[in-house]
Structure 1
Amino acid sequence: MVSRTRFDGSECPVARSVDAIGDWWSLLIVRDAFDGSRRFGEFQRSLGVAKNILAARLRALIDGGVLESVPASDGSAYREYALTPKGKALFPVIVALRQWGEQNSFAPGEPHSELVDRQQGRHLRPLEVLASDGRRVGPEDTTVRKVSAQ
């Protein structure tokens, strides 16, 4: 079996983020957690993933501080999975992927799900990347700068 390349020592924040999340199953687990899934069976039914793969991804997300295992909300002996503050910080990433998918992955008129504001029931505005002064910026307006050790 080929070992997975690790990026946890990389100087690139994108590489470290990908290393922390792991793979697409993990992003879908996080998506489902935002949608209210909390129990192993809920994730398994939603994703249709093999139990051993799901267990490994949940364990990795816990080890990475994205999810935590908490007592079941109904007082039963079961454990549930809850997003940590680190996990909740992935919300803009999930929204960006969702909005990109809505724009680029469906034919016109093809049915799909959409994320709406719970309070108003309206579609969300597209995410924007803003400079510190509030200007909208694109890839041509940015550059990567190395941060020196302190």
Structure 2
Amino acid sequence: MLSPLKALLSQFFMPDGGGAMDDTRSLQLSTAVLLVEVMRADTHLTDIERTTIRQVLRSKFALSEEELAQLLARAQDTAQTANDYFRFTSAMNEQFTQPEKIQVIEHMWEVAYADGHIDANENHLISKIAGLLHVTHGEYIAAKMHAKAASQPLNV
């Protein structure tokens, strides 16, 4: 009965000495949650979107398969219970450089383009996150175009 309360409190209070490892894990989780949210925003969930998220996280954070599986499971659980994006984007605003924040937006577009179709909800979500990350409209469009150019057409 106390474990849900303990989990809630641990989100808001970090033990002393948390340091860089906690910051790194927080940024990894924040990035993973935003990518999962793009996948969830689409009305048609596909394996290609899940695969794209795995590839992005593996390359961005150099995670082992076990670490990647744990991060994705935690990100999916967190995404289902999150009621806003501020806690994820505020961590990124504090720790990421502007090019890193633009790269997050580009990765979100990669997930959106993975199934060959951009859903209006995906478009809205990525636009909203770009605003929260203080990514300019020009940077947002450039990230979108770069992700679109990099996406491979589906072989049907």
The question of a shared fold, defined as TM-score above 0.5 by the shorter chain, is answered with no
TM-score for both structures, normalised by structure 1? 0.38
Larger radius of gyration: 1
The structure with the greater share of residues assigned to strand is 1
TM-score for both structures, normalised by structure 2? 0.37
The structure with the greater share of residues assigned to helix is 2
